[in-house]
Structure 1
Amino acid sequence: MYGKDEVKKTKEAFWTAYGQYMRVIPFEDAEKQSWINYKTGVKHLFFRMEADHQSARIAIELDHPDSGIRALMYAQLEQYRNVLHAELAEDWNWLPDTQNEYGKEFAVVQTSIRANIMEKADWPTLISFFKPRMIALDSFWSSAKYAFEIFK
């Protein structure tokens, strides 16, 4: 279907284009930041964007190796569920216990769409999917991050 090098180059081209497109969007806080590799400042708490030949997803992932601490982080995030929902203006899937393909356990709040990063015709759809949600996550995080300082 797609060669490994082709996939790598296409994904790299997409994320470069996305980064250039988002470069002009200011962050909620004046801190220097990256839209592609957003730093929450909290270890084991990530904003993730992923895309492949079938789908794209955006997520808040909690991957602390201690399941008890991960559960506390998730519970803290749940306390901000209404704030997050207000910023996003949509419901996301809340999964307190899940595993990746390698068996690593994590908690996640996410949403996804069907799109193909390998098709340049889908890139506007992908950008339109990621852009408003990352801006909303940034806005959400500017007020919610203080509640997670205990986990730093």
Structure 2
Amino acid sequence: MYSKAEKSKIRKDFWTAFGQYMKPVPSAEGTKVNWPNYKTGVKHLFFKMKAEQGFASIGIEFTHSDIELQQLFFEQLEEFKNILHSEVGEAWDWELHHVDEFGSIISRTQKTLPNVNVMNQNDWPKIISFLKPRIIALDAFWANMKPAFEEL
């Protein structure tokens, strides 16, 4: 069992390693990007990567507190579902008005890698190999689709 401080340090070490690994990779537009803390440039819309005990995931989350606006953003993304799935090379799971671990209502689409543990350094290559192509694909998708969300 790990203490809270140990868990925090291991998670921080993982994201630092991931960031270093991704550092040489430019965005789809050829610019430098902080991959672990990707900025979409659209308020309440986030690319979320998680590495936990038991799974890793990557997705797009809408966190606006106005449920109707959140649904509007989600429906807009659904309009581009085929483009997103084509860009990432797989189907993702879609959830409108999901209650997250903090009790907030969010809407999201995501892909999950089960049976990995960020606390086990031996799983880090699997987690990184899962996250890397998907965040790069999300960036390429976003380079083309961002204007449709800025107008909302």
Which band: TM-score by shorter chain? over 0.9
Gaps of 5+ in 1: none
- Looking at structure 1, the residues matched to 101 and 120 of structure 2 have their Cα atoms a distance apart, in angstroms, of 25
Larger deviation, residues 48-57 vs 138-147: 48-57
Matched, 1:92 2:89: no
For residues 6-60 of structure 1, the C-alpha deviation after alignment (integer angstroms, 9 at most, x for no partner) is 1111111111111000011110124442101100000000000011111111110
- Looking at structure 1, the residues matched to 31 and 21 of structure 2 have their Cα atoms a distance apart, in angstroms, of 19
Q: State the partner residue of 2:140.
A: 139
Matched, 1:81 2:87: no
For residues 42-89 of structure 1, the C-alpha deviation after alignment (integer angstroms, 9 at most, x for no partner) is 000000001111111111000111011111101110111111011011
Report SS of the residue matched to 2:36.
coil
Gaps of 5+ in 2: none
- TM (norm. structure 1) is 0.96
Cα shift at 1:102: 2.6
Q: Which amino acid aligns with 1:134?
A: I
Q: State the partner residue of 2:120.
A: 119
Report SS of the residue matched to 1:54.
strand
- TM (norm. structure 2) is 0.96
- Looking at structure 2, the residues matched to 58 and 24 of structure 1 have their Cα atoms a distance apart, in angstroms, of 20
Identity %: 46
- Looking at structure 2, the residues matched to 77 and 104 of structure 1 have their Cα atoms a distance apart, in angstroms, of 20
- Give me the CA root mean square deviation: 1.0
